[in-house]
Structure 1
Amino acid sequence: MMNGTLVTEFLILGFSEMPHLRVPLLFSFLCLYMAAISGNLLIMVTISASPALHTPMYFFLVNLAIVDILCTSTILPKLLDSMMTGRTISYGGCMAQLFFFTWSLGAELLLFSAMAYDRFVAICCPLHYSAWMGPRVCAFLAGIVWTISLTNTSVHTGLMLRLPFCSSNVIEHFFCEIPPLLKLSCAPTQLNEAMAFAADVFLAVGNFSVTILSYGFIVASILKIRSAEGKRRAFSTCSAHLIVVTMYYSTVIYTYIRPSSSYSLNKDKVVSIIYTSVAPTLNPLIYTLRNKDVKVALRRLLSCC
């Protein structure tokens, strides 16, 4: 809908070009949302109710669970609603979705670095772990994560709010994200693109480098383990973590480090599904539910119910 020359609401195309897949996609996204919410809530409750898990590693995992719930709850309910009823979203609703999604995205990328640093200290510098990863340090790192990500999304949303949208109101995507929104503006978007590029270099490329470097030191320490079984278990854990981290960072870098003019409808939708729906569902399985200590705490919690 247009008010003069200004957009008052957007039409989200979503997956309308694939009407034959509407029911399977609706069922798939509903399952992903339910799995992400239940898995992350289960992790939060299990860790909170188990004093043995009140350690830095699980502290960051609780923060990761909060971020995943924020991310999926920002995107998937509206997507499901648009697939069942209408495909419109108000201007204010679109900007709110952009704000909370960008907040969760930045927090997730920063948390991966904090978690990698925690594992680096635990494995490579175990004698300094209690000093370097004490409660105050963990709280400080978590505060930095949420503050930087909040500042980042405030800047991007503020820059988006200053743009007029008068050429079209059709978003060729399934939610309000920076690249497809920039394509709709009838004003220069160089500043928005420059800020998105700078944020991606810092949050994605920078944090990915820190994460990979940390795991590089971790792998070097693992190779010194004499026990073959110890090496196998350590490599199994690290490889699973690296798969999720690489999948998440690579898709984010692909989406945000390019100019908006190169935005591709179908390809970018598939990429976005990975970091908005698939990764938040996999994180509880890979980071915690495969963990022996979490399994024990979960059994105790369920036995008390």
Structure 2
Amino acid sequence: MRNITAITEFILMGFSDIHELQTLCGVLFLVMYVVALVSNLIIITLISLDLQLQTPMYFFLKNLSLLDAFFVSVPIPKFFVSNLTHNSSISINGCAFQVFLMTSFAAEVFILTGMSYDRYVAICSPLHYPTIMSSGMCVLMTAVSWATGVIVGAIYTAGTFSMPFCGSNVIPQIFCDIPSLLRISCSKTLAAIYSSLGIGVCVGLFCFICVVISYFYIFSTVLKIPTTEGKSKAFATCIPHLTVFTVFLATACFVYVKPPSSVPSITDRIFSVLYSVLPPTLNPVIYSLRNTGVKCALRRWQQNLCPRGSLHVTF
């Protein structure tokens, strides 16, 4: 007969049971967390203080960095503290809170979709850009993105934790995620959670299609630009966003969309690390290296030497 003892806490599986290796992992993840957090806070500070970056594109970028800072702060601090203290337990309420925040901050996909629309309007309809992408519209798009993320997170969390858990309380991940929780659920009726997962997949697919359509028209327009310099400037505004969107979508698919395996592997945990750390760490680097406006703002902040004429031009 199956063990139906109620579970009151979970054990998050790390990369090793050896205390020395756990300490090493803890220090490594602490460094990664500090780098990701500080780099995103720098982007937020630059855009907030620099008057020349008060445009729709940078408004979305600031919200993206804010989401990244929150997103990386959900699983990683708990993970490196667990490794340093050699205590990987998490209460069921703490696990539910992790699931809610992780799924809510996945609103990043909506912000990235809004950024693709911003680039579409800027390049394909430059004369109407100030009217379409007004400050009110930008705030509305961002508010809808955050609100949708919270609603999706609430649906996922309610659906997941409405099920009873029994048997093993070991979660083979570095944080509480829905696929792992489904493995240890003793409920035979998973209609609620699968329905919410289906809604999430449809929403994600819709965002993906919107981005693809936007870039189809963007690249069609860019290829018609007669000068090489004009094409380079247009691509310079799009390539960072497209790279960030691809990295986020690819890592998310490896964690949530890949077929479930009966035997958890260390590969699953590695992909979870990439999903939770890679986008928040790479996004500021990608935008600071490829975006002239951010680089100039950083120079102005440090040395006040960047000339106005070199500021990135918004199409």
TM-score scaled by length of structure 1: 0.90
Matched residues in 2 for 1:290 and 1:243: separation? 11
Cα deviation for residue 143 of structure 1 reads 1.0
Query: In structure 2, do the counterparts of structure 1 residues 214 and 19 end up closer, same or farther at CA, with 3 Å as the change threshold?
Result: farther
The match for 2:93 is 92
The match for 1:83 is 83
Matched residues in 2 for 1:267 and 1:193: separation? 24
Note if contact 1:11-1:171 (Cα within 8 Å) is conserved in structure 2: yes
Q: What residue ranges of structure 2 are gaps of 5+ in the alignment?
A: 305-315
Note if contact 1:193-1:260 (Cα within 8 Å) is conserved in structure 2: no
Matched residues in 2 for 1:271 and 1:209: separation? 24
Cα deviation for residue 93 of structure 1 reads 0.8
Bigger shift: residues 256-265 or 166-175? 256-265
Matches within 5 A, 1:211-226: 211-226=211-226
The match for 1:185 is 185
Give the secondary-structure state (helix, strand or coil) at the position aligned to 2:74.
Answer: helix
Q: Deviations over 1:134-181 (max 9, x none)?
A: 011011101110111111001111112211111111000000111101
Query: In structure 2, do the counterparts of structure 1 residues 235 and 179 end up closer, same or farther at CA, with 3 Å as the change threshold?
Result: same
Note if contact 1:200-1:253 (Cα within 8 Å) is conserved in structure 2: no
Matches within 5 A, 1:48-197: 48-85=48-85, 86-105=87-106, 107-188=107-188, 189-197=190-198
Q: Give the paired residue count.
A: 299
Cα deviation for residue 122 of structure 1 reads 0.5
Give the secondary-structure state (helix, strand or coil) at the position aligned to 1:74.
Answer: coil
Query: In structure 2, do the counterparts of structure 1 residues 62 and 236 end up closer, same or farther at CA, with 3 Å as the change threshold?
Result: closer
Query: 2:32 is matched by which residue type in structure 1?
Result: L
Q: Deviations over 1:196-220 (max 9, x none)?
A: 1321221x22211211221221111
Query: In structure 2, do the counterparts of structure 1 residues 119 and 88 end up closer, same or farther at CA, with 3 Å as the change threshold?
Result: same
Of Structure 1 and Structure 2, which has the larger fraction of its residues in helix? 1
* CA RMSD after TM alignment: 2.2
Cα deviation for residue 260 of structure 1 reads 4.9
Query: 1:134 is matched by which residue type in structure 2?
Result: S
Cα deviation for residue 282 of structure 1 reads 0.6
Matches within 5 A, 1:252-271: 252-257=252-257, 260=260, 264-271=264-271
Query: In structure 2, do the counterparts of structure 1 residues 240 and 53 end up closer, same or farther at CA, with 3 Å as the change threshold?
Result: closer
TM-score scaled by length of structure 2: 0.87
Cα deviation for residue 261 of structure 1 reads 5.8
Query: In structure 2, do the counterparts of structure 1 residues 146 and 108 end up closer, same or farther at CA, with 3 Å as the change threshold?
Result: same
Bigger shift: residues 25-34 or 156-165? 25-34
Matched residues in 1 for 2:258 and 2:127: separation? 43
Give the secondary-structure state (helix, strand or coil) at the position aligned to 1:6.
Answer: coil
Matched residues in 1 for 2:302 and 2:235: separation? 30
Q: What residue ranges of structure 1 are gaps of 5+ in the alignment?
A: none
